[in-house]
Structure 1
Amino acid sequence: MIDIILKKGKEKAVLQRHPWVFSGAIEHVKGKPANGDIVKLINAKGDFVAYGFYNDQSRVALRLLEWDESVAVDEDWFRHKVADAVAGRNELLSTGATNTCRLIFSESDYLPGLIVDKYADHLAVQVLTSGIEKMMPVIIDELQRLLNPKSIFDKSDASSRQHEGLETTNVVLLGDAPPESVEVKENNILYNINIAEGQKSGFYCDQRDNRRIVAGYTKGKKVLDCFSYTGGFTLNALQNGAASVTSVDSSALAIETLKENIKLNKLDAGKHTAIQSDVNKQLRAFKDCGELFDIIVLDPPKYAPSRSALDRAARAYKDLNRLGMLLLNSGGLLATYSCSGAMDLETFKQVIAWAALDAGKQVQFINQFCQPEDHPVRSSFPEGEYLKGLLCRVV
């Protein structure tokens, strides 16, 4: 096993079990490891620190796996990590109310660069690191042994793969290609999803708890669901007795799927209006015609993919939330979210405060939202906490 020598003074984060070592922290590489090889990290004194995946094309040159020198990072090691992650979701899935969740969440489940989502009897995977790419035969075999899925579909189409020297891919890894429509259940609500063609790995299961919480406020209310995708917040609101729900999304396919999901759940389509439009444009149109709502959900895509984009993202979040606040009846509720890992909760609160100031509104934060239990945050890897949200009373 090839040794990677760490620069003097760069041990602190590594010893605290943070799994990333950036290329600038490496003093010397003894030999020529291939990208994705498992290497041994050594400190400046020559002492063992950890084992990890190596990649000289990535800013994160080492993704650490194991800090005990006596533990072999072999096929069994990866099988145990996969099994532990799957077992950690058993309680969530055991109630029968939900059969879709994130089974493996990358570094947070000690498998850096591997995401696995369960959709009923099908699995979708995203492989984001060269090390995991090399271990995929073992990982697929273990997932098959544990879950016996009908299919495993590789949706490794994220642009971040290029930083690891990997090409994007969309292929079937096990079984037949997943059907065009897979029926899944979340919070006892049914959804038809297209695993192969849908965004990300087919469905945003990270908002499961938040959909249920927000729905608890919607009985008898006029609701606006922005960036509705296939209807997570919309369906929960209709099921919980909303007087009306308007859903806005720029994707025609998402809107059509949302309408089908309303039929699938036998909900009252007469209470629902779907609008295919850019959300910011539609919010301005609502403002121009004097439309007001009791509850507005703002669940936009990631505005800040990195810290360098944070200032621009903050302005976008501020403008979006300002528009939302202007469309609320006095005392109305704004459920607003950010899935940008670069933006922490306190910064997001400040952005909402700026939006309120610009809108001439007063805001009370009455609840905070986070990602659910199948998206755990590892104590030594706070970067795994990306989803945050606020329930605001706007007066």
Structure 2
Amino acid sequence: MFTIRLKKGKEKAVMQLHPWVFSGAIASIKGKPANGDIVTVTDTQGEFLAYGMFNGQSRVAVRLLEWMPEATIDENWWRNRIKQAIAGRSALLNDGDTDTYRLIFSEADYLPGLIADKYADFISVQILTSGIERVRPVVLDELQQLLKPAGIFDRSDASSRSHEGLEVSYGTLSGVEPPEFVTVKENGIAYGVNIADGQKSGFYCDQRDNRMLVAAHAKGKRVLDCFCYSGGFTLNALRNGAASVTSVDSSALAIETLRKNIALNNLDHLPHDDFQSDVNKQLRKFREDEDKFDLIVLDPPKYAPSRSSLDKASRAYKDLNRQAMKLLNHGGLLATFSCSGAVDIGTFKQILAWAALDAGKEVQFIQQFSQPGDHPVRASFPEGEYLKGLLCRVS
């Protein structure tokens, strides 16, 4: 067994069960572990702390797996971890109205670098660490045995793989190749999901609960859904009796998919229009045209991928929300989200307060949103809490 000895004082986070050991915390390495090898982590006195997966070229040099010295990180260990993660989704597995959700959420499910999403009869996986890459056959076999999917598709095309010395991996791994659009259900609404070419792993199932919560306020209202992607908030608003819905996204594929999803749910007779446009530009155009809305949804991409980009992202969030606030009728609602882990809820509230001040508006926070239960937040890994949102009354 290779051994990683930590510098004095660097053992605290490990003892508090945080799953990352940064390269700067390492005092010495016994042996020459290759990327993906299992290592023992000790304190400066050589006392056992944990087992983890090593990567010599990543800033996160060790991703910890196990804190019990008697444990053995073998094939059975990996299979049991996967079983535990799937068992934690048992309520969703038996939900007849929903067949798309996250099965495995990386560190939050004690499997650093493994993400698996279920789309009806297909599974999409992302393998983002060299340690998980080592056990790829075991992962695929266990998923196949537990869920018997029609096919498993690899979306390990994230740039973060390069930090682990891994090349992009993409394509069908087992079973049949998914069709261009896999039809899934979420809360009784059907969606055509492009697993192969869609954003991320194909669909943003982390907004499942929030789509319903926001739609509860849509009845009789003129709704604007920005960064609509395949139409989650749009479809829920239409089904819940919105007076009209306008959807905006810069992606032609997103708008095409949105239109197909509206037709798929027999909602195409309801008042809806869409714009393939940059959202910020379109918001300015709405203002020039003196358009007003009763409910606006802002679900932008990740503006702050790291803390170093927080200042720039804060300005972008503030400007986006300021523009939206100016388009709301008096007393209108703004459902606004951030999926940037570097932006905590306190910071997000402060950004919205600044946006309101610049817009000359008063804002009340009336509801707070977060990620659903299939995206758990591990107590020792708060970094896993990335999605937050607020429902604001703007006057």
Which TM-score band applies after superposition, normalised by the shorter structure? over 0.9
Q: Does residue 283 of the first structure (1) align with residue 286 of the second (2)?
A: no
Structure 1 residue 31: Cα displacement = 1.1
Question: Is 2:40–2:50's contact at 8 Å kept on the other side of the alignment?
Answer: yes
CA contact (8 A) 2:238 2:270 kept: no
CA–CA separation in structure 2 for the residues paired with 1:201 and 1:82: 19
Cα deviation code 1:88-136 (max 9, x no counterpart): 1111231211000000000000000000000001000001100000011
- Quote the offset at 1:269 in angstroms: 3.8
CA distance in 2, matches of 1:293, 1:150: 43
Cα displacement (A) at 1:257: 0.7
CA distance in 2, matches of 1:72, 1:133: 19
Give, in whole Å, the separation in 1 of the partners of 2:178 and 2:151. Answer: 6
**Alignment partner, residue 381 of structure 1:** 381
Distance in 1 between the 2:215 and 2:42 partners? 52
Structure 1 segment 47-86 matched on structure 2, within 5 A:
47-86=47-86
1:250 positional shift: 0.4
- CA offset digits 1:119-165 (Å, max 9, x no partner): 00100000110000001100111000100101101101111111101
Q: Which residue does the alignment assign to 2:335?
A: 335
Identity of aligned residues (%): 70
Partner of 2:293: 293
For 2:228, the equivalent position in structure 1 comes to 228
| Structure 1 residue 172: Cα displacement | 1.2
Two-structure CA RMSD over aligned residues (Å): 0.6
Inter-partner Cα distance in structure 1 for 2:170 and 2:382: 30
Amino acid at match of 1:290: E
Deviation digits for residues 196-230 of structure 1, max 9, x if unmatched? Answer: 01000000000000000000000010000000000
2:264 matched to which residue of 1? 264
- Aligned equivalent of 2:242: 242
Q: Which residue number corresponds to residue 111 of structure 1?
A: 111
Task: Please report the TM-score for the alignment, with normalisation by the length of structure 1.
Answer: 0.99
Aligned CA distance change for structure 1 residues 169 and 269 (closer, same or farther; 3 Å): farther
User: How many residues end up aligned between the 2 structures?
Assistant: 395
**Who is 2:123 aligned against?**
123
Q: SS in structure 2 opposite 1:180?
A: coil
After TM superposition, the runs of 4+ consecutive aligned structure 1 residues lying more than 3 A away are: none
Write the distance in 2 (CA, Å) between the matches of 1:270 and 1:125: 36
Aligned partner letter, 1:63: R
Query: What code does the residue aligned with 2:108 have?
Result: S
CA positional deviation for 1:268: 3.7
Residue 77 of structure 1: SS of its match in structure 2?
Answer: helix
Distance 1:270 1:281 in 2: 26
Q: Post-superposition shift, 1:287?
A: 0.5
TM-score w.r.t. length of structure 2? 0.99
Give distance in 2, aligned partners of 1:214 and 1:100. Answer: 19
- Specify the code of the residue in structure 1 equivalent to 2:47: D
The residue type paired with residue 173 of structure 2 is L
In structure 1, runs of 5+ residues without a counterpart are none
Query: Is 2:17 the counterpart of 1:17?
Result: yes
Secondary structure (helix, strand or coil) at the match of 2:144 reads helix
3-state SS in 1 of match to 2:173 = strand
Aligned partners of 1:208 and 1:372 also within 8 Å:
yes
Q: CA deviation at 1:168?
A: 1.1
Counterpart of 1:142 in structure 2 is 142
- Amino acid corresponding to residue 161 of structure 1 in structure 2: R
The residue number in structure 1 matching 2:89 is: 89
Work out whether residues 238 and 268 of structure 1, in 8 Å CA contact, stay in contact via their aligned partners in 2.
no
How far residue 169 of structure 1 moved from its aligned partner, in angstroms, is 1.6
SS of residue in 1 equivalent to 2:135 = helix
Show the counterpart of 1:273: 273
**Is the 1:227–1:248 contact (alpha carbons within 8 Å) kept by the matching residues of 2?**
yes
Q: Deviations over 1:241-269 (max 9, x none)?
A: 00100000001111011111011101144
Q: Deviations over 1:159-183 (max 9, x none)?
A: 1111101111212111121111100
The equivalences for 1:88-237 within 5 A come to 88-237=88-237
Whether 2:40 is the aligned partner of 1:40: answer yes
Amino acid at match of 1:121: D
**Contact 2:151/2:176 (<8 A) preserved:** yes
Give the Cα separation in 2 of the matches to 1:296 and 1:52.
45
Separation in structure 2 between the aligned mates of residue 195 and residue 360 of structure 1, nearest angstrom: 43
Q: Secondary structure at the match of 2:195?
A: coil
For the residue of structure 1 that corresponds to 2:53, the secondary structure is: strand
Distance 1:389 1:279 in 2: 18
* Amino acid paired to 1:206: D
CA distance in 1, matches of 2:341, 2:62: 21
State the one-letter code of the partner of 1:230.
Answer: S
Partner of 1:351: 351
Contact 1:262 1:269 in 2 (8 A): no
1:270 deviates by 4.0
- Distance, in Å, in 1 between the alignment partners of 2:138 and 2:52 is 17
Tell me the equivalent position of 2:372.
372
Q: Determine if contact 2:151/2:178 at 8 Å carries over to the other structure.
A: yes
Closer/same/farther in 2, CA of residues 209 and 89 from structure 1, 3 Å limit = same
